[in-house]
Amino acid sequence: MTQKVMVKENVDQVRELRSITGAGIMDCKRALAEAKGDFQRAQDLLRKRGFEIAQKKSGRVAKEGQIFSYIHLGAKIGVLVEINCETDFVARNSEFQQFGRDIAMQIAASRPLFVSREEIDSKWLEHEKEMFRAQAKAKPVQIQDEIVQGKLEKRFEEVCLLNQRFIKNEEITVKDLLTTLISKLGEHVVIKRFTRFEISSD
């Protein structure tokens, strides 16, 4: 009886770990075994491995890919997003296709302005800094810069696609989702650019 309960708990852990990280079943089993059943440690191990694989792939050229589209119910919001990979074979892969659809939906729902921090417009950044400095003026001078930086970090989570929480699983960011995909497919994958359209009520 105890053995059956332990097996069920292990299966439930594997299922939950897969849901949170997007990793394969065997990878989840191995991570749990290495972590001796420690769920949080297994989760950290999977994310670390995915990040390491993504780092190794980052220097490779991604010239293939696809443009994905999404039209929200009511046809008042639409998205086009270009996602690149290394080969046409991967561009046709079902997981790559699902990723593209999810990212298009993410952009429609979460209104990012940039793909990543590296693409942030300098004028936009300076405007945000000025606004946060004005808000921090009432605070002691020695902590004003810290307050401004903290507000900027929070803002990046809102406007940078890769820093946003994934709408289908808020335990992970879009960057985590991308890292997992790269780890699974074994190719460099890049969210290149996007455009979001919305019918204005003005």
**Residue-by-residue DSSP string for 84-99:** EES-HHHHT-HHHHHH
* Confidence band, pLDDT 50/70/90 cuts, at residue 1: very low
> What pLDDT is attached to residue 44?
75
pTM over 0.95: no
Spatial CB neighbours of 19, under 8 Å, sequence gap ≥ 6: 169
**196, burial (CB in 10 Å: exposed 0-12, middle 13-18, buried 19+):** middle
Which backbone phi and psi does 103 adopt, to 5 degrees? -70, -40
Share of the chain above pLDDT 90, in %: 49
Domains and CATH numbers, the chain: 2-57 (1.10.8.10), 64-116+160-198 (3.30.479.20), 121-158 (no CATH)
> What pLDDT is attached to residue 7?
42
Spatial CB neighbours of 78, under 8 Å, sequence gap ≥ 6: 69, 70, 71, 72, 108, 196, 197, 198
Residue 56 has pLDDT above 50, yes or no: yes
Q: Is the dihedral of CA 166, 167, 170, 171 positive or negative?
A: negative
Rounded CA-CA distance 32/148 in Å is 40
Residue 155 has pLDDT above 90, yes or no: yes
* Confidence band, pLDDT 50/70/90 cuts, at residue 177: very high
pLDDT (mean) for 144-171: 93
Which token pair is 18? 């897969």
pLDDT digit string, tens, across residues 67-85: 999 999 889 999 999 999 9
Residue appearing with tokens 């969210």? 191
Spatial CB neighbours of 169, under 8 Å, sequence gap ≥ 6: 19, 20, 177
